[in-house]
Amino acid sequence: MPGKEEHDPAPIRTALSREDGIDLDIIELLFFAYRDFTSDPDQILAADGFGRAHHRVLHFVNRMPGLTVAELLEVLKITKQSLARVLKQLIDTGHIVQLPGPKDRRQRELYPTGRGRALALALARPQSRRIDAALKETGREKRDVIERFLKAMVNPDLRAQIDNLPGRPGTVGSDDG
HSE toward the beta carbon, residue 121, CA cutoff 13 A? 7
Distance CA 176, CA 21 (A): 41
pLDDT band at 8 (very low <50, low <70, confident <90, very high): confident
Residue 126 to residues 47, 99, 162: CA-CA distances in angstroms?
16, 31, 22
Question: Would you say 115 and 48 are in contact if contact means Cβ atoms under 8 Å apart?
Answer: no
Q: What are the start-end ranges of the H helices in the chain?
A: 24-47, 52-63, 69-76, 80-92, 114-138, 143-153, 159-163
Question: Would you say 88 and 97 are in contact if contact means Cβ atoms under 8 Å apart?
Answer: no
In the prediction, which pLDDT does 4 show?
61
Record the pTM.
Answer: 0.81
Rg (CA), the chain: 20
Distance CA 43, CA 38 (A): 9
For the 37-129 domain, the top CATH level (class) is mainly alpha
pLDDT band at 76 (very low <50, low <70, confident <90, very high): very high
The 10s digit of each residue's pLDDT in 87-134 is 999 999 999 999 988 887 788 999 999 999 999 999 999 999 999 999
The neighbour count for residue 127, using CB atoms within 10 Å, is 17
Residue 176 confidence (pLDDT) above 90: no
pLDDT band at 177 (very low <50, low <70, confident <90, very high): very low
Distance CA 11, CA 123 (A): 42
Delimit the domains of the chain by residue range: 37-129
Distance CA 111, CA 58 (A): 9
